[in-house]
Structure 1
Amino acid sequence: MKTKFQIIAMLFAWFIYLPAKAQVQRLPLDSVVARVADNPALQALVAKASAQDAYATGAKSLDAPKISAGQYQVPYQFSPNGGSFMIQAEQMFTNPAKLKAKENYMKGASKITEADKDYLKNQLVAQAKQYYYERVVLEKKLTLLQHSQSLLEYMLKDANIRLTYGKEKLNNIYKAKADLYELDNTRDQLNNEISQKNIMLNTLMNRDKQAVFSVDTTVVLNNYDSALTDTATLANARSDIKSINRNIELQALNAKVEYSKRKPDFGIQAAHMISYGGYANQYILMASVTIPIVPWASKEYKANLKGIRYEVEELQQRKMDVLNQAQGQLASIKVDMTNKKKQIGNYQQNIIPALQNSYKTALLAYDQNTGDLPSVLLVIKDLQTSRMNALDRLQELLTLQVAYERENETTVSALNNQNK
């Protein structure tokens, strides 16, 4: 009767566990990359660009008019026939060319923010891909641990049977148990790292930090080893280069703003005077114009124009430096990727198969009582270490792949084109 209740309780717990497990969301890499757009840092730059566009709508506004009223030419000594009461209005009209240049300059600022947003997005996407690939490799390591655990459990079971017949030593069994328990520590460490990667990915996606999801463990290795990347392709793809180009364009618009200061502004002044003592009322109607080309007024914008030319030169040199650094970085990454692929191939084709054969040989010798348990345990550990090392090389290769795509911005450019 007790066994029946235990079976019912186990079935009930199993049916509760199944829906909970089914609720775990599976997020492929493309979905994670797409959700990075919700990152608050990107949304902040979107809001900043919108603010800059909003500011530009008021660029053509004129100065507020000035209205004044009060006594005009009234003598200090009281006289009912002296002076008048005056109402006056003034308005300055900024040269339309200045307003247009200012508007264009303010509109150009938001283009820089857009380019900066794309640059930040590229960095965040690279982080997301890096964390995702690290999570994938950690999952593969967990699977490898399960395989090693199965081998050790089989050997421990066989050794316990041999112990009952006096064909095995107790210290060897303890050694096998220690190796088995050591896997628990490794598994706990891997699960801890997986939880950290989950939190990092959820942070990038602006989701609940503790939300649990599964990943697609299929790894796609792109062949970038022989890819050719010229300067023109890099300049068109990289958002930091686009940001520099937008800055150069903004400096050109800034130069137009400074050059427009050579143009005069206009003003008008009107006043009405109500005279005291019965004298005729009077009025004032005057126009004014500024003369910005006089030497003491033109010195400022001439100096600013000279400074802008140096600013553009600095931006051009920075652009060349970024392209030079990027080409060198990409070339270095491709060489390193080739080396990592060779190492992975050596593990898969030579080292791991040799250790598998060594395990089979040691196991056969143990079954035939010509070998001992420590030899088998040592081969199992060596085999696990080599497989772990192969996964470490895979992680390094994926890190290089992410670095290459971050430098080349291939993924982000394609994603932006899809969004358009």
Structure 2
Amino acid sequence: MKRISLLLIGLLVAASLRGQDTVRLSLPQVFEHIDETHPQLHLYQNRIRSIRALAEGAKSWMPPTVSVALDQFPYRKDMEEETMPVNLAGYMLSVQQMIPNPAKLNARKRYILSQENVLRQEEKWAKNVLHYTARVYYYSRYTAEKKLVVVSEYSDLLRMLITTAKDRYVYNQSDLPTVFKAEALLSELNNMETMLRSQVAESSIGLNTLMSRDVDTPFLIDSVLQPTDYQRDLAVVADSSFLKRSDILAVESRIQSMRSNQRLMATGAKPDFGIQFNHSQMNEMPNTFSVMGMVTIPIAPWASRMYKSEVRSMEFDIRAMENEKATMQLMANQMIREKITMLAYESRQLQNYQTTIIPAYRNNLQSNLLAYRQNTGNFFVLLDAWNMLLMKEMERIDKLGQVFNLQAEYEYQREIN
């Protein structure tokens, strides 16, 4: 007996330790894990660093050019030793440096840096998408676990009813076909439990993947969740919150970046400069040098067509992106109004389940159970009342899941994180 007691104590301690190792994660904590560890978000951060590194060299000049030449050497070798005015053979050293227009360098740097804001907005939207996916998995597991609790409770009740019915069958107070039907329903509940556990496992794998953890890492979730009340948002007639959504702001940032690129192309009309220094050393002649300044003439018709056409092309691209932005705003406004409206109606249905439908079916079961205990009821009617209440409990949880999914979609459209 002492050994059995020690064994039980050891099992309880081990179970307690396992319970301590299992962490309970709230939805905000899941978001924190995703923000810290998901590689897609690190991708944007590295791209931003890449743009900053590129901008550091945006004002660089072209490298200087150094040339060394044999100058005015005659083809006849014997003429090289003759001292004649026409014998100008010698060596030449030339150094050339092109000086870009400062306006071009400044415009190039502004264009490169403008791409950083695009990536920042895209990162925010990617984070919003990941949070939405996490919500779907989290709410899916929550509803599955709630159903498991209901299945467990109703399975226990059904087993008790089956045992009672079998005992009464001996005294002809219960019919055997109904007992067999009850046993079949119990088997269906076991099958439903297996299906729900697979849903819990699927959601857990999805959440662990989003948090960049091993897919089999155990964790608990909140046992009590309530839908957020967004009823006041339904009364807002002119909701302009979608204008600040990251995906729309990303398009706006791309438009601004394209305008910066357009201004960069327009600087093609500005000239570049250059300077060249030549040093000559000839036989029997004093050393000479020359300094030459250079300037490009980009306004020449055969040269200006290139940058002018690029500027016009970018203008049409900007108009196209503005059309894209306007379309996204229309769709976002539509989706936000649809989701908040559907959420309001689904919430009312859920409220009806909780306040009227479920209590009515529960009273029906309790009255039939009382009648059955007093030998004035029928087991078939009692089993039907049990089954109807179970169905309505499952429908209520399904409706709760629909409310949570609509809430997740609404928060996704509003970018509420």
Paired residues of 2:140 and 2:199 also in contact (CA < 8 A): no
Partner in structure 2 of residue 251 of structure 1: 258
Which residue identity is paired with 1:54?
A
Deviations 1:373-411 (A, max 9, x none): 232222212111111111111111111111111111132
Which residue identity is paired with 1:233?
S
Alignment of 1:344 with 2:342, yes or no, is no
What are the equivalent positions in structure 2 for 1:17-36 lying under 5 Å apart?
Answer: 17-36=15-34
What are the equivalent positions in structure 2 for 1:69-218 lying under 5 Å apart?
Answer: 69-78=68-77, 79-81=79-81, 82=87, 83-218=89-224
SS in 1 for 2:165: helix
Give the distance between the partners of 2:287 and 2:223, measured in 1 at CA.
92
Alignment of 1:40 with 2:39, yes or no, is yes
Alignment of 1:235 with 2:251, yes or no, is no
Which residue identity is paired with 1:300?
M
Give the distance between the partners of 1:13 and 1:346, measured in 2 at CA.
45
Paired residues of 1:60 and 1:99 also in contact (CA < 8 A): yes
Give the distance between the partners of 1:137 and 1:298, measured in 2 at CA.
66
Give the distance between the partners of 2:161 and 2:127, measured in 1 at CA.
51
Give the distance between the partners of 1:9 and 1:168, measured in 2 at CA.
44
- Aligned mate of 2:282, from 271, 275, 285: 275
SS in 2 for 1:176: helix
Cα displacement (A) at 1:25: 0.2
Moved more, 36-45 or 334-343: 334-343
Give the distance between the partners of 1:193 and 1:343, measured in 2 at CA.
24
Paired residues of 1:202 and 1:209 also in contact (CA < 8 A): yes
Which residue identity is paired with 1:329?
M
Which residue identity is paired with 2:242?
L
Distance 1:72 1:248, change over 3 A: same
SS in 2 for 1:90: strand
Moved more, 216-225 or 306-315: 216-225
Distance 1:372 1:5, change over 3 A: farther
Q: TM-score, normalised by structure 1?
A: 0.92
Give the distance between the partners of 1:332 and 1:378, measured in 2 at CA.
38
Which residue identity is paired with 2:241?
T
Distance 1:233 1:175, change over 3 A: closer
Give the distance between the partners of 1:103 and 1:162, measured in 2 at CA.
89
Moved more, 65-74 or 174-183: 174-183
- Structure 2: where are the runs of 5+ without partners? 82-86
Paired residues of 2:66 and 2:96 also in contact (CA < 8 A): yes
Deviations 1:13-46 (A, max 9, x none): 2221111122110011111112221211111011
Give the distance between the partners of 2:74 and 2:394, measured in 1 at CA.
101
Partner in structure 1 of residue 416 of structure 2: 410
Deviations 1:346-396 (A, max 9, x none): 222222122112212221232233333232222212111111111111111
Deviations 1:158-178 (A, max 9, x none): 224324545334444333333
Give the distance between the partners of 2:375 and 2:8, measured in 1 at CA.
42
Q: TM-score, normalised by structure 2?
A: 0.92
Moved more, 356-365 or 283-292: 356-365
SS in 1 for 2:66: strand
Deviations 1:291-340 (A, max 9, x none): 00111111111111212221222222222111111111111112211221
Distance 1:287 1:229, change over 3 A: farther
Alignment of 1:262 with 2:269, yes or no, is yes
Q: How many residues align?
A: 407
Cα displacement (A) at 1:146: 1.6
Cα displacement (A) at 1:9: 2.5
Which residue identity is paired with 2:49?
S
Percent identity between the two aligned chains: 30
Cα displacement (A) at 1:282: 2.4
What are the equivalent positions in structure 2 for 1:290-309 lying under 5 Å apart?
Answer: 290-309=296-315
Paired residues of 2:258 and 2:318 also in contact (CA < 8 A): yes
Give the distance between the partners of 1:282 and 1:145, measured in 2 at CA.
102
Give the distance between the partners of 1:31 and 1:69, measured in 2 at CA.
68
Which residue identity is paired with 2:272?
D
Paired residues of 1:145 and 1:183 also in contact (CA < 8 A): yes
Paired residues of 2:274 and 2:293 also in contact (CA < 8 A): yes
Paired residues of 1:344 and 1:393 also in contact (CA < 8 A): yes
Which residue identity is paired with 1:268?
I
Give the distance between the partners of 2:241 and 2:399, measured in 1 at CA.
30
- Structure 1: where are the runs of 5+ without partners? 412-420
Moved more, 341-350 or 58-67: 341-350
Give the distance between the partners of 1:205 and 1:242, measured in 2 at CA.
27
Q: How large is the Cα RMSD of the aligned pairs?
A: 1.8
Partner in structure 2 of residue 15 of structure 1: 13
Distance 1:320 1:388, change over 3 A: same
Give the distance between the partners of 1:368 and 1:221, measured in 2 at CA.
42
- Aligned mate of 2:374, from 368, 373, 394: 368
Moved more, 247-256 or 373-382: 373-382
Which residue identity is paired with 1:379?
A
Which residue identity is paired with 1:73?
Q
Paired residues of 1:225 and 1:335 also in contact (CA < 8 A): no
Distance 1:172 1:14, change over 3 A: farther
Partner in structure 1 of residue 48 of structure 2: 49
Cα displacement (A) at 1:234: 2.2
Give the distance between the partners of 1:182 and 1:21, measured in 2 at CA.
30
